Structure 1
Amino acid sequence: MAVNVKVAEAKTHLSELLSKVEAGEEVIISRGNTPVARLSRIRRENDVDALIAEIKAQRAGRPHTTQDEIRQWRDEGRRY
């Protein structure tokens, strides 16, 4: 999910925005209502901590998966 900010806000909160980018979020910077730049994390090979942070950031906005749902997915299409 991308975070949209105006140029002035980006200047004021750059450190916070970079933390979000490091966690896997994308930041779009706009001048007025026109997007002009995109901040995204530079992927590094074998960067396990960054990968885990990115997965956690992406999962944060999703509803919790129950054990029953996992069992249903596992058993989907099986014949008993």
Structure 2
Amino acid sequence: MNISVAEAKAKFSELIERVEAGEEIVVTRDGKAVATIAAPVDVASSRQSIIGAMKGKVWIADEFDELGPEWDEYAK
């Protein structure tokens, strides 16, 4: 739902009820989005979905930490 700043000020309590019901509200000024009213993210449950998300998709080469001869003068 998009709503102007002025209308949001007048209907704030109603907007909060709609957000609690799962809706996301975009607040606009002069037709441009300036803010979003949304329910807070449950950090505990979102962390669980992130941990291990890249498993098997990222790898590090065996020689990753080996410097080539061009670094000899800096590695002393």
TM-score (norm 2): 0.53
Q: Within 1, Cα distance between the matches of 2:15 and 2:41? A: 17
Aligned twin of 1:34: 32
The structure carrying a bigger helix percent of its residues is 1
Q: Which runs of 4+ in 1 moved over 6 A?
A: none
Q: CA deviation at 1:32?
A: 1.1
Where relative contact order (Cα < 8 A, 6+ residues apart) is larger, the structure is: 1
Within the candidate set 19, 23, 29, 2:21 is matched to: 23
In structure 1, runs of 5+ residues without a counterpart are: 47-80
Aligned-pair identity in percent equals 41
TM-score (norm 1): 0.51
AA of the residue aligned to 1:13: K
1:1-31 residue CA offsets vs partner (Å, 9 max, x unmatched): xx10000000000000000000000000000
In structure 2, runs of 5+ residues without a counterpart are: 46-76
Q: Within 2, Cα distance between the matches of 1:43 and 1:34? A: 24
